[in-house]
Amino acid sequence: MILNPAKAILIPSKTALLICDMQEKFAKVIYEFNKIVTHSSKLIQACKILDIPMIVTEQYPKALGKTISELNISGAKGPFPKTQFSMYTSEVCKELSSLCNNEPPASIILIGIESHVCVENTAIDLKKNGFEVHTVADCCSSRTKEDKLLALERMRQIGCFIASSENIIFKLLGDAKHKDFKQIQGLIKNINTD
């Protein structure tokens, strides 16, 4: 599939971050969990600096726990509990409808777990409903590497942009003259991504 390059652009005032089910009980079973937490934390901090609105969900939190404390989700909408295997719930749809200056965002940055279940189903629902989706590969995972990689490939096939957290941050900045560039540059330099 050849995608329109213009749709790959992220305009901060028309972009939102969706954080899918980054919960406590997943910590010991998800492939490279610590790495996705590091990258997700960096991306969330950058989005806070750039005033990108965020929505958080939690899959059946009674059993799977709350969103991990390492992620600063203060100011985000939610967390919204859910049982369906997609973030595209009625509560999230309601929030999306007016999230960016009383309008829906044009682009969604999507992170979380598991890549092949809730993240992929969220991407499908978002694409079906007209959103451009930027799935952040280093901020998503599954219990197995294979499920993660296959999910990213399927998301690419349905027209999602597959990116890294740094790629997304620099797309949002757009220019080294951006007023927040130095602050975000420091954030990127100070986080060990190994």
* Catalytic (active site) residue 51: no
Question: Whole-prediction pTM value?
Answer: 0.96
Residue 5 is predicted with a pLDDT of 82
Residue 65 burial (CB count, 10 A):
15
* Catalytic (active site) residue 14: no
Average pLDDT over residues 100-123: 97
Residue of 20, 47, 118, 160 marked catalytic: 118
Read off the pLDDT of residues 60-104 as tens digits, 9 standing for 90 and up.
999 999 999 999 999 999 999 999 999 999 999 999 999 999 999
Please give the CATH architecture assigned to the domain spanning 13-190. 3-Layer(aba) Sandwich (3.40)
Residue of 77, 82, 148, 171 marked catalytic: 82
Residue 2 — very low, low, confident or very high, per pLDDT cuts 50/70/90? Answer: low
Q: Return the closest-CA partner of residue 132 out of 168, 90, 165, 98.
A: 168
Residue 192 pLDDT > 60: no
SS3 content of the chain, % helix, strand, coil (to 5): 45, 20, 35
Residue 52 pLDDT > 90: yes
